[in-house]
A and B are shown apart, each in its own frame.
Chain A
Amino acid sequence: DTAVSQTPKYLVTQMGNDKSIKCEQNLGHDTMYWYKQDSKKFLKIMFSYNNKELIINETVPNRFSPKSPDKAHLNLHINSLELGDSAVYFCASSQERELVYEQYFGPGTRLTVT
């Protein structure tokens, strides 16, 4: 069973469109994240939710809106897509265990905006 799953794996769309990426984890973790990996492979956190509550919101354009219907799901909705949004988006989840909290990553969604 996949621990953290994302759909779709690939997403190609035109500028100006609105799109969503879904993420689900079956690990029972309380915290979920969205990361963006740019073309130079740099990985940067965008959002973090703990038990459906937003706890980290990095300086991300407000065209990006995360939604957590329950603690197992964290979806990312992007409005008015721009060329610069092209990247790989990773969902992750974590649960602290004796001060260690390994983050489990999903397989990533490669978004291409044309």
Chain B
Amino acid sequence: AQKITQTQPGMFVQEKEAVTLDCTYDTSDQSYGLFWYKQPSSGEMIFLIYQGSYDEQNATEGRYSLNFQKARKSANLVISASQLGDSAMYFCAMREGLLSEKLVFGKGTKLTVNP
């Protein structure tokens, strides 16, 4: 069974608008971490934001925020005021448990920002 599900293979958004990229996860651990990475066409993986399972507040980093709904096991990424440079693949990932060193990635969502 997939641990991380990203149901949107592709998303389009107009410049300056907000966009939400979906991510649901599956774990029986009480302690885990959720990550979002951006991969532009140049290929590098860029860390965006992190949410711990015990964090009560949603994580925010600049224009990125993580809409964490623990009961629904969802960790959606919200990008506000989209910019052309936001066009990229976005990956949701999970670290299960405090002792695990492993990140499990979703299949990614390709975001295109239109001018």
A residues with a Cβ closer than 8 A to B are: 31, 33, 40-45, 48, 50, 55-56, 88, 90, 92, 94, 99-108, 110
Contact = CB atoms under 8 A, between A and B. Distances in A.
B60 to A, nearest CB: 14
8 contacts: A41-B89, A43-B91, A50-B101, A55-B101, A88-B43, A100-B52, A102-B35, A107-B43
A18 to B, nearest CB: 24
A105 B101 contact: no
A90 B45 contact: yes
A107 B98 contact: no
Interface stretch (B17-25, B73-81, B102-110): B102-110
Contacts, number: 55
A45 B105 CA distance: 9
A94 B101 contact: yes
Contact of A41 (B50, B95, B103, B108): B108
| Chain A residues touching B, majority SS | strand
Given A43-B91, A102-B50, A48 B44 contact: no
Interface in B78-100: 89, 91, 95, 98
Given A41-B108, A42-B107, A43-B91, A102 B101 contact: no
Contacts of A104: 47
| Chain B residues touching A, majority SS | strand
A108 B47 CA distance: 15
Contact of B102 (A41, A45, A106, A107): A45
Given A45-B102, A55-B101, A99 B45 contact: no
B105 A44 contact: yes
Interface string B58-76: 0000000000000000000
Nearest to A107: B44
Contacts of A50: 101
A105 B91 CA distance: 13
B45 A105 contact: yes
A44 B33 CA distance: 17
